[in-house]
Structures are given as structure tokens and as C-alpha cells.
């Protein structure tokens, strides 16, 4: 079962970087890629909702790189896009190319899906390690009672 | 090369070159900027907007001349002409809106209106005078409805408030800042 | 005070820059790797992330390395860097209930939904040196990792938890949260001209210097103030950053930011009815920085107390006093500038002093 499209980019960003780059570049070499918006990297103000009065504020800025393009290959064409907390325009362009290629159902789709699975496993590993840390530091403070004294 | 090639019109170095030329003709009303070497066939009006706009600006496309891709590249928020910092309008159609004119203590809030015309080398002769013009200068414009000059006179009557016009034929620009006096208009 | 340009010193300044590098490179130790700073000094690294106001872990490590460990200078590097980058916009509002928790405790409530998890904290340990840390090798690191993880892949339990205060709200002990959609004040673009909205207050403190915030909050805790806080919830975790997918428009995860958030509960006697009422304070910042989040929450409450009472009784309750003095780059910058040449202005002071002394001398010598 293919994961939802919105999960592809963060999964690919967690997979083997060299393999992701090589696959994207191989697709790019045999297709035309045209930008649908200027590929940008810069900063975004992060909006957070404070939980005491429900108002919004900015804890600070975050890096963001974004790409939106059209990929046209002999087998098919599709729009592709990706956004990543990064200043690496090359990486986010490659993620957008893979996003388009998978959406278009190009012959490389199984390879892309394999990298997505690899990335999701890496992310699951991080989540599992965090859960382990929580489990092993879970505390149940007991108030001292008269019997304990 | 892993980053995409941007069309010439959307490259920062093109915007720098365009900005210098627009600034020069804004400082010398009556002079015309020839942009043909920078445009790669795109319209001069779009080049002006590409120079002015980013995601902090507001834009009104009165005659719907912009494509979806051009709007995405301009990255400005689309609003009604009464509220826009930048307006794209067709010179052949009389303006049906009142643009932002700024305030007495913030006259820079007045809109910049990019008006597409047929030609800046032929047509009716406008006699210009005022700041940046030695004595008088003549600007020829074809395809600008008469209502535009009357509207401009109304908008700029309460100087320093007013709006500034950028006239654009397919490859050239001329600027009519609110400080410029047009004889008979 | 008029400044006059100084000539000369170019060679000395170049020499000074090279000397900083030479001091780093002398001796037998290997160059610091950015990863070492982020992983083995994460709390110092977190300070720089939040005080710089830019969540860029790699550059925060570089800033600490380049500034020779000066956290104020390092934060300055991040601020200078961010001023060179284009602004792409603002994200949609992020709710910290989505945090992937790594630490979550409450001092007010013993039993909270989901439980309390200490995470990695020295809070309960004695401050006794572990001298064996003086001589660690790579094999020791491998042993530590193996001991902790063993062959257990990890747990499957959830890492997101509801807010403790939400339970109080469900019971009606706290007013319900009204989601206020007022766009937040942008302190990176607008100057603080008082009175400022609460969003400006929270943003300024979120990137405020930890020591400055702590000192002001401590003054309130010690008695120059009225806030008697209990930590309702302190949570540390990774908040996923969601932005619209360029094609589908639906939220996609672009990354995660480490955030520390503290909600304090304080009691406050309402003047009219006399009945005490729960009041809250909020603090949150990038990175793992508990002292800063708690201090921020105390100051948030202190400023609100003064506003509710209509009277500022202590410096920590005065938003102008607090907000104008907690920015590390502003305060450090002004302090540092005193070392820059002030020769002409000081010469003017010397001349005035000599003239005044001469006049006093003449008056003393004059015949009566």
C-alpha cells in the first residue's frame, strides 16, 4: 500500500541520500523538467499557538526550501512538488522530481517506493527509540504516607 | 546541474538590470527604456511586475492578463484594485477603479499602475514637464484611452498623495510619476 | 555622542583573527566536528538555536565552533545570517499537542493523562563529578549505546500526549481556550513601540537571552513580585513542521523542531470578589532549555498580573523593562561597543574636566 503523497518527501529525506540523488538525476536525464514556481530557499516565520490564552506567536524562524515543477517523460507527465526544512535547493528539487515521477507512474516507480519504504523504516526507528526512552524513564511518584515512616 | 534553470525573466540578475533601467526612466520622465535585450520575448509589463513584486506585495490583475504560472512566479497576493500596491491594467480600457493613493503622512502607500499600451514610439504626443524634465519633453503613446489621463489628474490632485503610472508597450517602458505635469491633462 | 573614524590597526586586526584560529589549532586535540557539538553539548547548542532565533542546527554548531564557545557571539552569528536570507512567508499555526515528547513532567499534578516521563534529565542526580568522563574513548561510546539499546528495537508506545491543562479545562476549572487568530506581531520587521501585543512579548522572550530572562524572573520569585508558580506541565519534544504540499495543497511534514514548553499555574486573589482564581503563565522556546521556558512563563504571568491590577510594582512586571533588556544581541552588542575607540569623545571629556579644574583652582586662588 503506497503511503499518502504528503508523506513521500519526508520519507525520502530519511532514506539513503546518495541513492535518492542518483535516482532523481537518472530520471531527470531522460525527461524535461520545467519550474511552475521559482524554486526558493529561505526562511519562514514559524507560527505557534500558545496554550494558555490561545493566541499565536513566533518562537523564531525556520529554514525552508520549496520546489514545484512539471516532469514530462516519454511514459507520462505530472506536476511534482516538495518542501523541506533545509537550505538545500538541489535536494528539494530532486524530491520534487521523484514526487512527480511516482505520481506519473513512470517505470522507476518501484525504485522510488523502495526508497520511501527505507525512509519510513528509518523514521519508525527514531520514533521507537524515543518511545523506549519514555518507557524507561516513566515515573510514578508516590506520596509518603504515615505507614512509610 | 541539479537546480532548475529559471527562465531569464525570473532570474535575480535580470531583475537587477531591469530595476536600474526602470529607475533611470522614472527619474527622467519622457525617456523610454528599451528592454528587448532582457525579455526573451516576454512582455515588458510582466518584466516590470517581476521587478517590483515578491511575496510581501499585493497585486491586482484588472484585465486578467496574467497566466497562472506568471502569477505563481510573481508570488504576490492577489487583491482588489482598490487595495493593491501594484495594478496591471490595459490602456485601451478606461479605469473603473480608484487605486490606493496613500496618506498625507505616508504618500508612498499610493499604488504603482502598470498600463499596457500599443506603442511608446508612435501615437498621441504628451507634453511633459516637472521634476526630472528639462523644460519640456514629449512622450508618444498609442493605445491609451483618454480617460486614463483624466483619472490620473484626479488621483494626483492632492499631492503628495497619488498614484504612479508605468506605461508598457511590448518591449519598452516609460514612467509617469505623480510629480509629472502633463499639459492639458 | 559623535563617532570619528579611526585609521590604522588593519595588520593588528588581521593578526587578531589569525591568532583566534591559531589558539584553536594549537595543542594535540583534534578539530571539533559539528556533530560533536550538537550531540555532546546539546543544551548549549539549544541555547544558541533559540537565542539566535533561527532553527538551523548545523549552523548553530558552526556558530559555537567559530565563536570559540561564546554563546552570545554564536547567537549573533545566527541573527546576522538570517538577515541575509529571503522571507518565504509564515507557516500555519502549530499546536504543541502534536509534539513528539521526549520529556514531560508536572509539579502540580502527580497523575496526568499519559503519565510523567523524566526523559534525560540531571534534575534528580547529585552534582558530583564523574571523573571517568575525563578519559572516554570511542569504544566507551559504543558500550554505552549497546547497554542502552541492547537488542531491543524500541517501544511502540505513543509519543504524543494531551495537555495537562486541558484536563482542568474539561473540569471547568479553567476557562476554555478561545483560538485567537490575530496575526502575530513580527519582531523581525517591526520595532517594539509600547504597548505591544502579547505575541510580541512571547516572541521577544522566546529568543531572549537565558541569563537575562532568568535574572528578571528570579527577582520576581524572590519577592520583587507576586507570582507563586507551580509548573503545571513542562514538556520537551519534537514538533513536526507542516506546510502545504505544492501540488495537493494538503499538509506535508517538512521537518521537526525541538521545542521546550512550560505552563505554570499561579493563584491570584481577585480584588473585587476576593475569591482566588487559577491564573496561568506560558513560556516556550526552540531547543531544550527548561530554565528559559520556566523563566519566560513566570515573566508572562508577572506582566499579566500588573496589567490586571493596573499597577506595576516591580521591574519584572513592567513589559518595557523586561522586553527591552532581555535580547542578548542588543545587550551584548551595546556592552561590547564600549570597547571600541571613543578617543575623540573622551578627549572632549578630558578637556572639559581640565577646564573645570582650572576654574576651581582660579576661584580658590582669587583674593577674597
pLDDT at C243: 98
Among the partner-chain residues C110, C119, C261, the one whose CB lies closest to the CB of A137 is: C119
* Domains in chain B, number: 1
Among the partner-chain residues C53, C256, C280, the one whose CB lies closest to the CB of A52 is: C280
Please provide residue B5's backbone torsions phi and psi, each rounded to the nearest 5 degrees: -75, 125
Q: Are C165 and C232 in contact (CB under 8 A)?
A: yes
| Of the candidates B58, B54, B63, the residue with the CA atom closest to the CA atom of residue B19 | B54
* Interface membership of C285 toward A (CB under 8 Å): yes
For C11, the enclosing helix (H) or strand (E) is: helix C10-25
How far is C87 from chain B, CA to nearest CA, in Å?
8
Residue B42 to residues B25, C129, C305, C326, C361, Cα–Cα distance (Å): 20, 70, 60, 51, 82
ipTM score here?
A: 0.95
Rounded CA gap, C297 and C211, in Å?
15
| Of the candidates A79, A89, A101, A92, the residue with the CA atom closest to the CA atom of residue A28 | A101
Q: Are B145 and B164 in contact (CB under 8 A)?
A: no
Q: Calculate mean pLDDT across residues B118-128.
A: 96
Residue in B with minimal Cα distance to C89:
B55
Residues of chain A contacting residue B70, judged by C-beta atoms under 8 Å apart: none
Among the partner-chain residues A47, A55, A64, the one whose CB lies closest to the CB of C94 is: A47
How far is C131 from chain A, CA to nearest CA, in Å?
25
Write the pLDDT tens digit of every residue in C211-235: 999 999 999 999 998 888 999 999 9
Residue range of the domain that includes B76: 8-178
**Testing the interface with C: which of B4, B10, B53, B56 to mutate, by most C Cβ within 10 A?**
B56
Among the partner-chain residues A24, A25, A39, the one whose CB lies closest to the CB of B4 is: A39
Q: Are C272 and A107 in contact (CB under 8 A)?
A: no
Q: Which residues pair with C230 in a beta bridge?
A: C265
Please, what is the Cα angle at B162 between B156 and B165, to 5 degrees?
90
Residue B185 within any structural domain of the chain: no
| Domain CATH number, residue B108 | 3.40.50.11310
| Of the candidates A103, C84, A36, A104, the residue with the CA atom closest to the CA atom of residue B4 | A36
Q: Do B72 and A37 touch (CB under 8 A)?
A: yes
**Testing the interface with A: which of C39, C79, C247 to mutate, by most A Cβ within 10 A?**
C247
Rounded CA gap, B76 and C151, in Å?
54
Q: Calculate mean pLDDT across residues B152-164.
A: 96
Write the pLDDT tens digit of every residue in C77-95: 999 999 999 999 999 999 9
Chain A neighbours, 3+ Cβ pairs < 8 A: B, C
Sorted by where each begins, the domain ranges of chain A are 5-138
For A28, the enclosing helix (H) or strand (E) is: helix A17-29
Write the pLDDT tens digit of every residue in C310-343: 999 999 999 999 999 999 999 999 999 999 988 8
Residues of chain A contacting residue B4, judged by C-beta atoms under 8 Å apart: 33-35, 39, 67, 69, 93
Residues of chain C contacting residue B56, judged by C-beta atoms under 8 Å apart: 87
Task: Indicate if the pLDDT at residue C276 is higher than 80.
Answer: no
* Interface membership of C87 toward B (CB under 8 Å): yes
Cell 542502552 sits at which residue? C148
Categorise residue B72: left if φ over 0, alpha if ψ from -120 to 50, beta otherwise: alpha
Residues of chain A contacting residue B3, judged by C-beta atoms under 8 Å apart: 39, 89-90, 93
Q: Are C132 and C144 in contact (CB under 8 A)?
A: no
Among the partner-chain residues B3, B69, B73, the one whose CB lies closest to the CB of A90 is: B3
Task: Indicate if the pLDDT at residue A40 is higher than 50.
Answer: yes
| Of the candidates A96, A88, A99, A31, the residue with the CA atom closest to the CA atom of residue A65 | A88
User: For residue C163, how many other CB atoms are within 10 A of its CB?
Assistant: 21
State chain C's mean pLDDT as an integer.
92
Write the pLDDT tens digit of every residue in B85-110: 999 999 999 999 999 999 999 999 99
Residue in C with minimal Cα distance to A127:
C159
CA-based end-to-end distance of chain C: 40
Residue in A with minimal Cα distance to B9:
A38
Residue in C with minimal Cα distance to B72:
C246
Residue C50 to residues A88, B176, C10, C288, C291, Cα–Cα distance (Å): 22, 48, 34, 9, 13
Residues of chain B contacting residue A69, judged by C-beta atoms under 8 Å apart: 4
Q: Are C66 and C77 in contact (CB under 8 A)?
A: yes
Q: Do B73 and A37 touch (CB under 8 A)?
A: yes
Residue B133 within any structural domain of the chain: yes
With a pLDDT cut of 70, the percent of chain B lying above it is 98
Q: Do B56 and C87 touch (CB under 8 A)?
A: yes
Statement: the pTM of the whole predicted model exceeds 0.80: yes
Write the pLDDT tens digit of every residue in A45-77: 999 999 998 999 999 999 999 999 999 999 999
Rounded CA gap, A93 and A98, in Å?
9
Q: Are A33 and A70 in contact (CB under 8 A)?
A: yes
pLDDT tier at B1 (50, 70, 90 boundaries)?
A: very low
Beta pairing class for C94-95 and A56-73:
unpaired
Residues of chain B contacting residue C87, judged by C-beta atoms under 8 Å apart: 55-56
User: For residue C302, how many other CB atoms are within 10 A of its CB?
Assistant: 31
For C115, the enclosing helix (H) or strand (E) is: none
Higher pLDDT pick, B16 / C178 = B16
Q: Do A85 and C165 touch (CB under 8 A)?
A: no
How many A/B residue pairs have CB atoms within 8 Å? 31
Rounded CA gap, B155 and B149, in Å?
10
Categorise residue C296: left if φ over 0, alpha if ψ from -120 to 50, beta otherwise: alpha
The 3-class SS string of chain B reads: CCCCCCCHHHCHHHHHHHHHHHHHHHHCECECEECHHHHCCCCHHHHHHHHHCCCCCEEEECCCCCCHHHHHHHCCEECCCCCCCEEEEECCCCCCCCCCEEECCEEEEECEEEEECCEEEEEEEEEEECCCCCCCEEEEEECCCHHHHHHHHHHCCCCCCCCEEEEECCCEEEEECCCCEECCC
How far is A92 from chain B, CA to nearest CA, in Å?
9
* Interface membership of B69 toward C (CB under 8 Å): no
Q: How many CA atoms lie within 13 A of C329 on its CB side?
A: 16
pLDDT at B162: 97
Write the pLDDT tens digit of every residue in A1-15: 789 999 999 999 999
How far is A88 from chain B, CA to nearest CA, in Å?
10
Residue in B with minimal Cα distance to C246:
B72
Q: Which three cell numbers stand for residue C304?
A: 499579566
Amino acid at each position: 500500500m503506497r503511503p499518502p503523497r504528503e508523506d513521500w518527501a519526508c520519507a525520502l529525506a530519511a532514506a539513503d541520500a546518495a541513492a535518492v540523488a542518483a535516482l532523481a538525476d537518472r530520471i531527470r536525464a531522460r525527461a524535461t523538467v520545467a519550474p511552475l514556481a521559482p524554486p526558493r530557499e529561505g526562511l519562514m516565520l514559524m507560527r505557534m499557538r500558545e496554550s494558555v490564552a490561545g493566541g499565536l506567536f513566533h518562537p523564531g524562524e525556520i529554514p525552508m526550501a520549496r520546489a514545484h515543477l512539471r516532469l514530462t517523460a516519454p511514459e507520462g507527465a505530472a506536476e511534482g512538488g516538495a518542501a523541506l526544512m533545509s537550505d538545500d535547493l538541489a535536494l528539494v528539487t530532486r524530491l520534487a522530481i521523484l514526487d512527480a515521477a511516482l505520481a506519473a507512474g513512470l517505470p522507476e516507480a518501484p525504485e522510488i517506493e523502495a526508497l520511501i519504504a527505507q525512509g519510513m523504516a528509518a523514521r519508525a526507528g527514531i520514533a521507537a527509540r524515543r518511545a523506549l526512552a519514555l518507557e524507561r524513564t516513566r515515573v510514578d511518584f508516590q506520596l509518603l504516607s504515615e505507614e512509610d515512616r | 546541474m541539479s537546480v532548475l534553470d529559471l527562465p531569464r525573466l525570473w532570474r535575480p540578475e535580470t531583475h537587477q538590470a531591469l530595476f536600474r533601467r526602470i529607475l533611470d526612466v522614472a527619474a527622467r520622465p519622457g525617456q523610454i527604456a528599451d528592454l528587448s535585450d532582457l525579455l526573451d520575448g516576454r512582455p515588458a509589463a510582466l518584466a516590470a511586475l517581476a521587478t517590483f513584486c515578491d511575496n510581501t506585495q499585493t497585486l491586482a490583475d484588472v484585465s486578467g492578463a496574467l497566466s497562472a504560472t506568471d502569477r505563481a512566479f510573481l508570488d504576490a497576493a492577489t487583491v482588489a484594485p482598490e487595495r493593491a500596491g501594484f495594478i496591471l491594467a490595459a490602456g485601451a480600457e478606461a479605469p473603473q477603479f480608484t487605486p490606493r493613493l496613500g496618506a498625507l503622512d505616508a504618500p508612498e502607500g499610493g499604488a504603482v499602475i502598470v498600463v499596457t499600451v500599443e506603442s511608446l514610439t508612435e501615437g498621441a504626443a504628451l507634453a511633459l514637464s516637472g521634476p526630472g524634465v528639462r523644460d519640456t519633453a514629449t512622450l508618444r503613446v498609442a493605445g491609451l484611452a483618454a480617460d486614463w489621463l483624466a483619472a490620473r489628474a484626479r488621483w494626483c490632485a492632492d499631492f503628495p498623495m497619488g498614484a504612479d503610472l508605468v506605461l508598457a508597450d511590448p518591449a519598452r517602458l516609460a514612467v509617469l510619476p505623480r510629480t509629472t505635469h502633463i499639459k492639458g491633462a | 555622542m559623535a563617532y570619528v573614524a579611526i585609521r590604522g590597526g588593519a595588520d593588528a586586526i588581521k593578526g587578531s583573527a589569525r591568532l583566534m584560529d591559531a589558539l584553536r589549532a594549537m595543542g594535540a586535540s583534534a578539530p571539533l566536528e559539528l556533530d560533536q557539538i550538537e550531540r555532546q553539548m546539546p543544551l548549549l547548542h539549544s541555547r544558541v538555536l533559540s537565542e539566535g532565533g533561527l532553527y538551523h542546527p548545523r549552523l548553530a554548531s558552526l556558530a559555537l565552533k567559530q565563536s570559540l564557545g561564546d554563546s552570545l557571539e554564536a547567537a549573533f552569528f545566527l541573527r546576522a545570517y538570517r538577515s541575509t536570507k529571503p522571507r518565504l512567508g509564515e507557516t500555519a499555526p502549530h499546536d504543541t499537542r502534536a509534539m513528539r515528547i521526549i520529556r514531560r513532567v508536572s509539579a502540580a499534578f502527580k497523575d496526568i493523562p499519559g503519565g510523567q516521563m523524566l526523559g534525560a534529565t540531571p534534575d534528580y542526580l547529585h552534582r558530583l563529578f564523574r571523573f571517568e568522563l575525563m578519559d572516554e574513548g570511542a569504544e566507551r561510546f559504543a558500550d554505552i549505546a549497546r547497554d542502552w539499546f541492547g537488542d531491543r528495537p524500541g517501544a511502540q508506545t505513543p509519543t504524543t500526549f494531551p495537555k495537562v491543562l486541558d484536563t482542568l479545562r474539561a473540569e471547568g476549572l479553567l476557562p476554555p481556550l478561545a483560538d485567537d487568530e490575530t496575526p502575530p506581531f513580527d519582531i523581525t520587521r517591526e520595532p517594539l513601540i509600547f504597548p505591544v501585543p502579547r505575541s510580541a512579548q512571547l516572541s521577544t522572550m522566546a529568543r531572549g537571552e537565558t541569563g537575562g530572562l532568568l535574572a528578571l524572573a528570579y527577582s520576581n520569585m524572590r519577592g520583587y513580585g507576586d507570582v507563586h508558580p507551580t509548573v503545571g506541565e513542562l514538556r520537551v519534544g519534537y514538533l513536526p513542521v507542516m506546510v502545504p504540499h505544492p501540488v495537493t495543497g494538503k499538509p506535508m511534514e517538512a521537518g521537526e523542531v525541538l521545542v521546550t514548553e512550560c505552563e505554570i499555574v499561579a493563584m491570584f486573589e481577585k480584588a473585587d470578589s476576593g475569591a482566588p482564581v487559577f491564573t496561568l503563565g506560558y513560556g516556550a522556546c526552540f531547543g531544550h532549555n527548561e530554565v528559559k521556558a520556566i523563566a519566560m512563563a513566570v515573566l508572562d504571568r508577572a506582566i499579566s498580573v500588573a496589567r490586571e491590577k493596573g499597577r506595576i510594582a516591580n521591574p519584572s512586571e513592567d513589559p518595557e523593562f523586561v522586553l527591552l533588556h532581555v535580547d542578548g544581541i542588543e545587550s551584548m552588542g551595546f556592552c561590547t561597543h564600549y570597547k571600541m575607540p571613543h578617543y575623540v569623545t573622551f578627549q572632549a571629556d578630558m578637556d572639559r574636566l581640565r577646564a573645570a579644574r582650572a576654574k576651581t583652582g582660579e576661584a580658590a586662588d582669587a583674593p577674597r
